[in-house]
C-alpha cells in the first residue's frame, strides 16, 4: 500500500487536496442557495404594498426560489456528508498508521531494554572497578586530568541558570 510510505503530514496534505473539489462543490451549492434566498427576499419586498394579484405572483416566485434554495441546500448537505465520510476514512487510516508505528516502536524499545538489562547483568563491576584502579595507579597524571575535566563538565551542567 503506497500510503504506508508517506509521512503523516503528506497524508494530511493529500486529504486536503482530495477534498478541495468537494469543498468547492459545497461552497458553490451554498452560494446558489444564498442567491436563491436573496431573490426570494427581493420578490417579497417587491410584493409589499402592491395589489393582491401581484402579491400572489410574488408568493409563487418566492416558493419557487425557496424550493430551489432547498434543493441547493440538499446538494450542500450531500457534499458535506461525502466530505465528512472521506475525512473520517483518512483519519482512521492515519490513526491505524500511528498506532502501528507506536506498537513497532514499543516492541523495539522492549527489545533494547532487554538487551541492555542483559548486558548490565553480565558485567562484573568488581572486575571493572579493579581495572579502573589499576589504570589510575599506572597513569596518575592522566587520571587527575580526567577527573578534573569530568568534575568541570558535571559542575557546568548542574550549575543554576538564570
**What ranges do the domains of the chain cover?**
2-122, 124-162
- The verdict on pTM exceeding 0.85 is no
pLDDT (tens digit per residue) in 88-137: 988 898 899 999 999 999 999 999 999 988 887 777 777 888 888 899 89
Return d(Cα 129, Cα 136) in angstroms, integer: 11
Q: Does the pLDDT at position 3 exceed 60? A: no
Q: Which CATH class is domain 2-122?
A: mainly alpha
Q: Does the pLDDT at position 148 exceed 90? A: yes
Helix 140-158, helix 125-138: angle, nearest 10: 120
Q: Does the pLDDT at position 50 exceed 70? A: no
Helix (H, G, I), strand (E, B) or coil at 162: coil
pLDDT of residue 43: 78
Q: Does the pLDDT at position 141 exceed 70? A: yes
Q: Please state, rounded to an integer, the average pLDDT across all residues of the chain.
A: 83
pLDDT of residue 18: 72
Q: Which three cell numbers stand for residue 46?
A: 417587491
Question: What Rg, from alpha-carbon coordinates, does the chain have?
Answer: 37
55 within 8 A of 47, measured Cβ to Cβ: yes
Q: Which has more pLDDT, 2 or 86?
A: 86
Amino acid at each position: 500500500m503506497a500510503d504506508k510510505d508517506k509521512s503523516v503530514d503528506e497524508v494530511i496534505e493529500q486529504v486536503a487536496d482530495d477534498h478541495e473539489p468537494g469543498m468547492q462543490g459545497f461552497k458553490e451549492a451554498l452560494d446558489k442557495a444564498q442567491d436563491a434566498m436573496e431573490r426570494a427576499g427581493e420578490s417579497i419586498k417587491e410584493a409589499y404594498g402592491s395589489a393582491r394579484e401581484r402579491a400572489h405572483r410574488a408568493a409563487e416566485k418566492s416558493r419557487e426560489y425557496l424550493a430551489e434554495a432547498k434543493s441547493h441546500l440538499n446538494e450542500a448537505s450531500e457534499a458535506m456528508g461525502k466530505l465528512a465520510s472521506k475525512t473520517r476514512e483518512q483519519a482512521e487510516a492515519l490513526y491505524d498508521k500511528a498506532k502501528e508505528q507506536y506498537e513497532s516502536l514499543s516492541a523495539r524499545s522492549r527489545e533494547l531494554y532487554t538487551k541492555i538489562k542483559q548486558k548490565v547483568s553480565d558485567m562484573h563491576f568488581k572486575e571493572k572497578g579493579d581495572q579502573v584502579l589499576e589504570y589510575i595507579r599506572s597513569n596518575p597524571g592522566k587520571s587527575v586530568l580526567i577527573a578534573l575535566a569530568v568534575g568541570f563538565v558535571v559542575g557546568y551542567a548542574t550549575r543554576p541558570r538564570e
